């Protein structure tokens, strides 16, 4: 029995050692990831290992796994415009590595390639592009600025083996002095518009007064011509019309009494 237990113990120990060796010779690459193999004798291998479970030589080889899915990164940059205004820009980038270039990326840059590459090239490209526009153009031509930054940055990142799936400007502000100047300009424009409205209103009133005066002058001229042609008959006609109108108004009043003309009217009244 002792020999049997001893044999079982040795078998179990052998199985445990064998399982450990097999386990150390396997590694997994998850979905969306790629692996680069580092060999202690031959260095970084050129072949890139895809998703799944793979074998390696324990102690001799080591897998370095990279996430090859698109990842976001925000890069804030402070730069100057063409008219020397301070501009605060935040750029949002979706990036991923070129899988075939992972050995070169690991050898020349390292696993933290995004930390080493993206801030520097983003700052370089943004400073170069923003310097071509003044502050007003950065606001009115934002789409053009964003497209130019995307094209230049994509080209620059490709030299490091990176793919940029999206580049967008998420934040764009200016210095305090420029903001105050814009506000003062808007106030001045509003004041100018108000003054222009007042001038236009006065001009309209002036034109109305001129037209009214010309009408009165024309009416007076017509009346004068009529008097010259008809003599005093027109004046007498206007008097009769005025008297008729006054008599009509008085006849409607209860406090007015009509008496015949002549001095003996009151003497003929009954006692």
In a domain, 17, yes or no: no
**Mean pLDDT on 232-255:** 72
Selected residue with higher pLDDT from 10 and 251? 251
In a domain, 198, yes or no: yes
pTM higher than 0.75: no
One domain, residues 109 and 86: yes
**Mean pLDDT on 69-91:** 91
Specify the pLDDT at position 157.
95
Q: What is the pLDDT of residues 130-153, one digit of tens each?
A: 999 988 888 889 899 999 999 999
Specify the pLDDT at position 16.
56
In a domain, 16, yes or no: no
| CATH at residue 123 | 3.30.479.30
Q: What is the pLDDT of residues 81-115, one digit of tens each?
A: 888 888 999 999 999 999 999 999 999 999 999 99
One domain, residues 152 and 84: yes
H or E segment at 82? none
One domain, residues 77 and 164: yes
Q: Residue 99 sits in which domain range?
A: 71-174
The CA–CA distances, whole Å, from 16 to 10, 13, 34, 154, 265 equal: 10, 5, 30, 52, 155
One domain, residues 194 and 122: no
One domain, residues 190 and 159: no
Q: What is the pLDDT of residues 1-50, one digit of tens each?
A: 666 556 666 666 555 555 555 567 888 999 999 999 999 899 999 989 99
In a domain, 42, yes or no: yes
H or E segment at 20? helix 2-24
One domain, residues 85 and 167: yes
One domain, residues 99 and 193: no
In a domain, 35, yes or no: yes
Q: What is the pLDDT of residues 189-239, one digit of tens each?
A: 777 777 787 888 888 888 887 787 777 777 777 766 766 666 666 667 677
One domain, residues 57 and 107: no
In a domain, 264, yes or no: no
One domain, residues 35 and 126: no
In a domain, 207, yes or no: yes
**Mean pLDDT on 259-268:** 55
- Considering its fold, how many domains does the chain have in total? 3
Q: Which two tokens stand for residue 132?
A: 């071509």
Specify the pLDDT at position 159.
94
One domain, residues 117 and 88: yes
In a domain, 55, yes or no: yes
Say which residues have a Cβ less than 8 Å from residue 49's Cβ, sequence separation at least 6.
Answer: 29, 34, 35, 36, 37, 63
């Amino acid at each position: 029995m002792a020999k049997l237990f001893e044999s079982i113990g040795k078998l179990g120990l052998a199985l445990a050692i064998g399982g450990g060796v097999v386990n150390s010779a396997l590694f997994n690459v998850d979905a969306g990831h790629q692996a680069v193999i580092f060999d202690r004798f031959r260095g970084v291998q050129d072949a890139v290992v895809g998703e799944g479970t793979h074998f390696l030589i324990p102690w001799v080889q080591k897998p370095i796994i990279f996430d090859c899915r698109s990842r976001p990164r925000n890069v804030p940059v402070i730069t100057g415009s063409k008219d020397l205004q301070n501009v605060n820009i935040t750029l949002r980038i979706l990036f991923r590595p070129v899988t075939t270039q992972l050995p070169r990326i690991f050898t020349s840059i390292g696993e933290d390639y995004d930390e080493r590459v993206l801030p520097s090239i983003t700052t370089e490209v943004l400073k170069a592009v923003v310097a071509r526009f003044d502050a007003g153009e950065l606001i009115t031509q934002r789409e053009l600025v964003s497209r130019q930054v995307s094209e230049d940055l994509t080209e620059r990142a490709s030299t490091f083996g990176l793919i940029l799936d999206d580049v967008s400007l998420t934040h764009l502000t200016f210095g305090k002095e420029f903001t105050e100047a814009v506000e003062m300009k808007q106030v001045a424009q509003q004041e100018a518009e108000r003054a222009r409205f007042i001038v236009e209103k006065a001009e309209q009133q002036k034109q109305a007064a001129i037209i009214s005066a010309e009408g009165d002058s024309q009416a007076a001229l017509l009346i004068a011509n009529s008097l010259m042609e008809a003599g005093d008959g027109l004046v007498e006609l206007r008097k009769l019309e005025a008297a008729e109108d006054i008599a009509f108004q008085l006849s409607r009043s209860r406090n007015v009494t009509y008496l015949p003309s002549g001095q003996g009217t009151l003497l003929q009244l009954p006692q």
